[in-house]
């Protein structure tokens, strides 16, 4: 990678981080209360290395095998923390358990069981978020708000999984304010999780907000924002 391209990525990263810190301060939160997950799906590892060199450690991937391959290529990058942010099929949990620091989009008891089995065999505790489909969009993953309590109860059967919070993908709207009611509702649901009484339910995180609306999400309590295009630019089309 040429130094000019690397500098462009570093500049984009710094702009996003500056905005993120400013939003936190405007919202009366600490400058580091919301962390950036740089969404690197379908981007080459040299781009990830450039953004990593600029100080970013958290990277998000949407496809299990792509995460596996990139983690292998970047095995020498000790500072990197992988987040798996896409829907996950049960037959692909082997690619993400123990590789991703955090799984953002768990939404099904059968998936929980598959993750538990893999984590138990690896003798580790895997941190996960539950994705909630608050807008009831049929084309999107996520547990319904009504079914969330039952899914949370299932964590009593998965001692090798730790529920760290909730994740949301609201309907896309060019107006960032459109997502505010859903962001606010997810924050309230996270508060409710604290009453579960389960040792492995530790609801610290709210993963919500992307390139165009993360400022609103932070104002409503986001602790993790997922930003890709604003850092890496437009993605090439998926070819698999």
Q: Which domains does the chain have, with CATH numbers?
A: 3-232 (3.20.20.10)
Predicted local confidence at residue 5, as pLDDT: 59
Tell me the C-alpha to C-alpha distance, in Å, between residue 134 and each of 14, 31, 35, 138: 32, 28, 23, 11
What are the b/e assignments for 81-110, b being 16+ CB within 10 Å?
A: ebbbbbbbeeebbebbbebbebbbbbbbbe
pTM equals 0.94
Distance, in Å, from the CA atom of 120 to the CA atom of 117, rounded to the nearest integer, reads 5
The answer to whether residues 232 and 38 touch, using CB atoms and an 8 Å cutoff, is yes
Predicted local confidence at residue 1, as pLDDT: 47
Cα 118 to its chain centre, rounded Å, is: 20
Q: For the chain (length 240 residues), average pLDDT per consecutive 10?
A: 66 97 96 95 96 97 98 97 97 98 97 98 98 91 96 97 97 95 98 93 97 96 97 75
């Amino acid at each position: 990678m040429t130094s000019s391209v690397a500098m462009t990525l570093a500049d984009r990263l710094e702009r996003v981080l500056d905005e993120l810190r400013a939003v936190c301060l405007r919202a009366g939160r600490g400058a580091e209360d919301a962390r950036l997950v740089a969404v690197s799906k379908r981007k080459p590892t040299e781009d990830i290395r450039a953004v990593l060199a600029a100080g970013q450690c958290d990277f998000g991937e949407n496809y299990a095998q792509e995460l596996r391959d990139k983690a292998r290529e970047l095995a020498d990058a000790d500072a990197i923390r992988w987040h798996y942010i896409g829907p996950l099929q049960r037959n692909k949990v082997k690619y993400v358990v123990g590789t991703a620091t955090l799984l953002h989009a768990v939404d099904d008891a059968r998936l929980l069981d598959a993750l538990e089995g893999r984590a138990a065999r690896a003798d580790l505790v895997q941190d996960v978020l539950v994705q909630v489909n608050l807008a009831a969009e049929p084309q999107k993953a996520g547990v319904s708000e009504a079914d969330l309590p039952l899914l949370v109860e299932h964590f009593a059967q998965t001692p090798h999984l730790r529920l760290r919070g909730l994740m949301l993908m609201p309907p896309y709207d060019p107006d960032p304010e459109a997502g505010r009611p859903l962001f606010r509702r997810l924050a309230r649901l996270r508060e409710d999780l604290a009453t579960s009484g389960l040792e492995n339910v530790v609801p610290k995180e709210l993963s919500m907000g992307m390139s165009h609306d993360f400022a609103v999400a932070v104002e409503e309590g986001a602790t993790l924002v997922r930003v890709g295009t604003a850092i890496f630019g437009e993605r090439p089309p998926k070819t698999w």
